[in-house]
Structure 1
């Protein structure tokens, strides 16, 4: 069976006719209205054992979808419908579809999406550059050509078949054995003939280059009755009203959730394209570990462990604090045992819970702020009860003087992420954020 959930809640068929690999949910801000729970329920009702979410230029709904699908015993496939920059005409970008095969592919997709938003936006679109796949590789990602909206589809529409062949060959080189030519049948009325011409040309390219063809169905809404609501959504994003006869109409009434039987009937003449949708679902095996905290690795000198470095830094910092608190050497010596005992207790708890790196990171940027003229508050909240925080310079209040409890901040019997409340002067706050 395709599902990866350890506790499937449904009896799903072993040999599906088709798997949906395209869907714009409500997280596709400009053109989606599909609610994730409804989407997953439709798949469950159709006994579809796997399902993909491929929102436009984002992964906003990925975790919600992943949880919902796994909860129903359905294998979740994460991907993204992305804009591809057209260097010859920025106003005519193409679209391709990326699906995550593995965790490496998921991380790469996240990296490329961030890069697009940060460095290559045009008219509100975050566009990928083809050369990024050369620079960063394509490990863990499957590529679908984008059907008629892809660069190959646009070349076919312009009757530039030699370019279409070249593009297909280039993509296959970048995504060896992970590139699929994509076909769809959602057109209505006069557009059907253009759609069939495209499909015929794709089959010619596939035969010439020995490339697989996959059938997809771009879901934009759940039922046919939702079409008008979807049109209203697109009008809002494009600045039109429904009654405007001049408005662009980029979607059809056919783009609802069709069953396996519906799609199998549509592509009865292309059984291999149906089979490849199932094959792709089998190849996509991304597993996410949720609910686990991941902290950056703090660089330590001489490859010292985080735990050892935290202890040495805290002890050194405590020496300096005590010299200020108790200038008299005899009084300082009489007080030292109490502070040492508290420090040892706290460092043991911090290291046991795996938060040494967190303390070192926070201490690093707070001390950077202090050394660079950014005023920092003395401490607020339960974090002020930590002698380690005081020793590292995170806080400036002596916890023992005020009988503050460390356990309110960090307690091995109540495992949760520590959270320092830190106040920076607003005039220097952005500099600290840039440093972090």
Structure 2
């Protein structure tokens, strides 16, 4: 055994340079047979490190540096699972910065059975060695003088251990190290103390150098070999999956209880049972029983029955067991959902059930889980890396760039001109790219284990108070932990809130109220017609520009076609979208291969769903279920390129053996590759499509209640202003916030929408809730005097309340500027009872100022349609610049092939690459008649994209194009109507991040 004890990876955030995989590969290439990775206070990289070592054929040793307060005290190695659990408890206390916690005292009092410890600090050795708590060594470090430590330790009988403290492979990495430390310490390279440098002893030695260095202390080298030999790292990470216990039931009891719950669910979901149902249920239960998954389903059911407003999605929606338990809401038998994508006898990985809850109920769900399963549950982590703009910003900042320079570099990068950024900034950004930065929390992944969580991992508390594992989802799975995804979904809250607004109206009309489980408008003709027209603004999952255009192009829509539309729109599948549309609209489609005809029958011979990859590879290449599922999963992995060539070879070998031609196999393989990156399974899209239809039904029949709910839940794909504009187009007045009439959120007031007080900017939530409580307890505010006496607003609150118009209804004869006069007078002396008349010299604000105040105080323009403010200037510019005829979106269908001018408000944009890798864009605008979808081809996009940063209203010149029922404008000119630089937006980091500017 030739061990390297030890190295530090980049999971010592801000202190390590290399990935676990890099260290494993390097150790193997240099001839080591065992490697210890000791990061500071964590096992974040343990799973990746272990897998990487095993891949190259060396033994991984689980080490960790105990460094509370960033002061390294000692190193610990796990000899077995007892030691792993012991150190996990310690690391959890350190990571949570438990006040007064002293790890040395903890070790002295509680021992360290199952661990081996090493330290170079005599005071720690003097405390721990006599206590007899376990194996401990005096640490001797490669590259450092240790003669004094040897004499001192030998005199006391303390064994010696040969160690390293490697960070880098060569001295040439010093610049990278200093840059990383500067970024970590929020300083720049010039200000970084000279002592922060890459020392010689931190360079990774060869085995020969290591053994030669410790030749004078052979017992230290022998101890390292013994430690490496005896450490049983294979027991630390499970080779099988760890499922939660449910109420202390054994596997047999859990299965019986699950079967009983399924039986109870049949009459709730079906009018009567059938042989098809019984056969499917028996099949699924047999797999669940064989694999020991029953307790997992019971735990998820336990959560869902307490919080039933859900959308179970992902492949679990193909399961009749999930449907009968109420975890999912689409009938998998009726809609032919492929169960084997979720579970099959050959599948090696665990089930993965995703449950969406209304976003504002998710905290309650998590609180229940962490109370019910306290000490046995934790969130899955997210390893947050330097990505997108961060590497560039941090590289420039650490090298002394000013904010102005940083902004210029980021703009150049956004424009695709990175070569104009200084070399040293680019070098730093390339080094920092994808480097782990800190531990985040997965959006919804929760792990529940039998017994103590510390048996499996250490935890730390998130800013929201939840316990978090050290590993992201792939590493957690690699450690044998099975997650449940408990996710927040704003659209479920929209449906819930709209139902709550609608149900009193239905009851007043003598109509049954809507319920969550029975509200399933699959076949409502008016809803489906609205969806076919692409009139889906605000509707969950089907409101993006690409989806609305696709729905129009389809020509017809029912629920199952909506499921297709929800799946087929993905980046790598664009060329197949048009093929599918042509075939849907009647073009003949001979199957690529007879064995695919039945497999792809419902999608016109085009692979649409993830499971199509599995089914096609089984039908064409003879893959078994396990092989086919692995291929499907590989396509979604980041490192897929390294293995896809091998999978292609297997696919072609199987296909050729079954008599398929190379040409046919090429075409099928290309279609399979369209699933690279993200894609969807049919059960997932079927679940989402049901929520889409619920949203669409509510919009069709109760648009005011629907959009009120969309706005209260923070909008959907677009900003709140877009939904306000939609209401104004439909003829619904939007009323401003009012001190007496408004609640926290927006509400219905007759046939109008009333904005809520909670939507006011720069007023504390505490002030607003106090106001609402005062109104509840003491009644409405009678007048301005009553408001001032009861609320005692400060200037910040008074300013927003006055300028937003929230006090207009109680101000009597006072104009808004006069209310300020009253407020300031009240600060100087008591005016009560009675308010004096305001000086007539204080005049009201002009309309333009009031509209600006609307925008500044609520983030919205609502008293009139914003585009109306720009129309006079637009007409003047059209004449002045001799532009083509100014038309509206409603007229475009009659002007196909013509070049026209449109006036529109900016909505959103999406930049995409062409086949030749040039950038082009789809940009959405709106006018009084509806949405305007535009295309900017590469030349136009390159010339015009910066103009979209300049304001909110634009004149566009372009040619009207039509593809089936979808109308677009091919833009060649854009003119901003916002005046001067006050209305210039910054380059967006993401299309949806573009803020809406204030009007001129």
TM norm structure 2: 0.34
Asked if 1:297 corresponds to 2:245, the answer is: yes
Shift of 1:411: 2.7
Task: Work out which of the residue numbers 50, 54, 77 in structure 1 matches 2:38.
Answer: 54
Aligned with 1:394: secondary structure? coil
Distance 1:45 1:345, change over 3 A: closer
Shift of 1:79: 0.7
Q: How far apart, in 2, do the equivalents of 1:45 and 1:382 lie?
A: 42
Relative to total residues, which structure has the larger strand share, 1 or 2?
2
Q: How far apart, in 1, do the equivalents of 2:202 and 2:250 lie?
A: 60
Aligned with 2:138: secondary structure? strand
Q: How far apart, in 2, do the equivalents of 1:177 and 1:382 lie?
A: 48
Distance 1:72 1:225, change over 3 A: same
Asked if 1:283 corresponds to 2:267, the answer is: no
TM norm structure 1: 0.73
Cross-structure match for 2:383: none
Q: How far apart, in 2, do the equivalents of 1:37 and 1:383 lie?
A: 33
Distance 1:142 1:338, change over 3 A: same
Q: How far apart, in 2, do the equivalents of 1:389 and 1:265 lie?
A: 63
Q: How far apart, in 2, do the equivalents of 1:423 and 1:400 lie?
A: 22
Contact 1:56–1:82 under 8 Å retained in 2: yes
Q: How far apart, in 2, do the equivalents of 1:426 and 1:208 lie?
A: 64
Asked if 1:376 corresponds to 2:333, the answer is: no
Alignment of 1:32-431 (within 5 A): 32-84=16-68, 93-120=71-98, 129-133=103-107, 137-145=111-119, 147=120, 150=121, 152=122, 164=123, 167-172=124-129, 176-184=133-141, 186=143, 195=145, 199-200=147-148, 202-244=149-191, 246-249=193-196, 251-287=198-234, 292-300=240-248, 305-319=253-267, 321=268, 326=271, 332=272, 335=273, 339-370=277-308, 375-377=309-311, 379-400=312-333, 402=335, 404=337, 406-431=339-364
Cross-structure match for 1:11: none
Q: How far apart, in 1, do the equivalents of 2:43 and 2:286 lie?
A: 39
Contact 2:107–2:128 under 8 Å retained in 1: no
Cross-structure match for 1:6: none
Aligned with 2:14: secondary structure? coil
Q: How far apart, in 2, do the equivalents of 1:336 and 1:42 lie?
A: 61
Shift of 1:366: 0.6
Contact 1:120–1:128 under 8 Å retained in 2: no
Q: Which moved more, 1:25-34 or 1:388-397?
A: 388-397
Cross-structure match for 2:894: none
Cross-structure match for 1:329: none
- Which runs of 5 or more structure 2 residues have no equivalent in the other structure? 370-1000
Cross-structure match for 2:714: none
Distance 1:401 1:36, change over 3 A: closer
Cross-structure match for 1:13: none
Q: How far apart, in 1, do the equivalents of 2:110 and 2:259 lie?
A: 39
Q: How far apart, in 2, do the equivalents of 1:171 and 1:252 lie?
A: 30
Q: Which has the higher contact order (CA 8 A, sep 6+)?
A: 1
Aligned with 1:423: secondary structure? strand
Distance 1:82 1:352, change over 3 A: same
Distance 1:46 1:318, change over 3 A: same
Contact 1:103–1:287 under 8 Å retained in 2: no
Q: Which moved more, 1:231-240 or 1:128-137?
A: 128-137
Distance 1:351 1:240, change over 3 A: same
Superposition RMSD on alpha carbons, in Å? 3.2
Distance 1:312 1:279, change over 3 A: same
Aligned with 1:144: secondary structure? strand
Q: How far apart, in 2, do the equivalents of 1:23 and 1:45 lie?
A: 15
Distance 1:251 1:402, change over 3 A: closer
- Which runs of 5 or more structure 1 residues have no equivalent in the other structure? 3-15, 86-91, 153-163, 188-194, 327-331
Shift of 1:300: 4.7
Q: How far apart, in 1, do the equivalents of 2:234 and 2:132 lie?
A: 21
Distance 1:285 1:421, change over 3 A: closer
Q: How far apart, in 2, do the equivalents of 1:408 and 1:100 lie?
A: 38
Larger radius of gyration: 2
Q: Which moved more, 1:286-295 or 1:214-223?
A: 286-295
Contact 2:137–2:159 under 8 Å retained in 1: yes
Contact 1:390–1:396 under 8 Å retained in 2: yes
Shift of 1:212: 0.2
1:314-337 Cα offsets, whole Å, 9 max, x none, are 223435x26xx54xxxxx4xx466
Distance 1:421 1:238, change over 3 A: closer
Shift of 1:96: 1.0
